[in-house]
Amino acid sequence: MNAIKFLFAAYIATWVIHGVYVGTLVRRFGRLRRELKELGKGK
């Protein structure tokens, strides 16, 4: 039973890491798109 905890911990850790990374990608996309739009308006 105790070993199952480790199994789920490993699977959850994997998806948390992927989730955090994909989250940062989405955030960076949003920031860059905003910046590009502002630059376009400035012209």
**Residues near another protein, by CB under 8 A:** 2-4, 6-7, 9-11, 13-14, 17-18, 21-22, 25, 28-29, 32-33, 35-36, 39, 42-43
Q: Which residues of 1-28 are buried (b: 16+ CB within 10 A; e: fewer)?
A: eeeeeeeeeeeeeeeeeeeeeeeeeeee
Considering the complex, what minimum distance in angstroms separates the CB of residue 27 from another protein?
Answer: 10
Closest separation between CB of residue 33 and another protein, Å? 7
Tell me the CA end-to-end span of the chain in Å, nearest whole number. Answer: 64
Smallest gap from Cβ 39 to another protein, in A, equals 5
